[in-house]
Structure 1
Amino acid sequence: MNLFSLQGKTALITGGTHGLGMAMAEGLAQAGAALLITSTTPSKLDEAIQRYQSQGFTATGYIFDVTDEHEAEKQVAAMEAWHGKIDILVNNAGIIKRVMAVDMSVEDFRKVIDVDLVGAFIMSKLVARSMIARKSGKIINICSMMSELGRDNVSAYASAKGGLKMLTKNLATEWARHNIQVNGIGPGYFATTQTEPIRVDGNPFNEFIISRTPAGHWGDPKDLAGTAIFLASDASKFINGQIIYVDGGILATIGKPANE
């Protein structure tokens, strides 16, 4: 099982203060990685760091906006100076604005693209510099089923996540020669605090997700940990430019089969 060990590794997870980002960070820490967690909200960051440390994990927090290239550059330099190196980058920070395209402002559209796509580019570029020098590194971009599918009222989000899928492939192409693997994870629909209000019997969207998912239920955030560990470890050293969809089978089918 040494193939999956992250002992001695340092993992930077952007936006890893809650939800799926926290679930993946906990998985990486359980495999042995020290955590660097970013956020733009001090209170959320403090709470998250306390949770990680209460589980015996090594975790340090940093406050900055991934879309601010100048500030991100300073913070990455500080991380590398303090921790020595960043072995794993998980580009998880993101936002969504659910507005029909005809009603969405250009400002809001650009904001989603900036956080979900440009922020991932900035962080990858900054962290990759030392990875290239060391000839070693893992970058995991958190994509989405909206990297493949369209849906009402998420035009900006789907555009960003579709772009992130292609950014993943292009960075993999450029950096594979330096022994850097750039891959993505595309989560399906998961049971988190954010989705709790709609995960109730009788809610049309809840019924739609359950009926549309071959597994027949929402995902548990812990289901993402294994994929994150795999892509962050030596077990995936010849896998590059791929997106692994952890979605209970949604993208594999045109619909859940009827009960026989």
Structure 2
Amino acid sequence: MHRMTSTQRDLARTFRALHHGRDLLVLPNAWDAGSARLVEQCGAAAIATSSAAMSWAHGVPDGEHLEVDVLVSTVREIVRAVRIPVSVDVERGYGNVPELIDAVIDAGAIGINLEDGSDAPDVLARKIDAAREVAARRGVELFVNARTDVYLRGLVPSDHAVDEVIRRGTAYVAAGCDGLFVPRLVDAAHIAAIAAAARAPLNVLAMPERAPMSELHALGVRRVSVGTGLAQAALATVRRATTELLGHRTSAMFAERIPVPELNALFAR
């Protein structure tokens, strides 16, 4: 069993503090050691993983299709590649929350994202409680970000969505979560209402149709993540470049690239 290090404990405290500082916490989502190292180089204070992006990188769809051992080994590689806090998207817990949380802590993670999907709120509440028990036993201040899919899955009619998020969020905070993540929450009035009622820092997704980040902060949002955005942009670049290469027999798109010496230096430490 991996022993908690003082560095990991310090990273956990740092990550928690980032949710309560003066500035909005912006979390780019990585999927492997390379993307994580680039995110760190660009100045990110912390990194979150994307379950979908990590799954795609291993040739499988999102939705707990990635083998747990692969997930954990990838997290370990990411943690080794960077010196900033790493939070892990563990989806719905893969059917064994205590075992999975123990494994990702062992890999060096200091936070998790755990979602409810279409389950009743008491299901996620029990998972949060289980995660808290593991974290306490391991001696790490694990940041548990509870994701509710009320908007993403349309779990209730739109005119009841705010109340449902608040109801679920209250239950999740009571169970021990540290943050509330609401993907597909885009309406400014809804954001403000949920942020005001939430008893934990509110996390939303950065989306083109959403208000600027400065406005989100003013509405009460404490954390913004990009989900699959970076991975989608990277894969779009691969497809576009390959289409140009095969269809037009041109390599002009390679003019905008990171030089090999720079990449080698980036990963040399």
**TM-score (ref. length: structure 2):** 0.36
TM-score calculated relative to the size of structure 1: 0.37
Give the structure with higher Rg (CA). 2
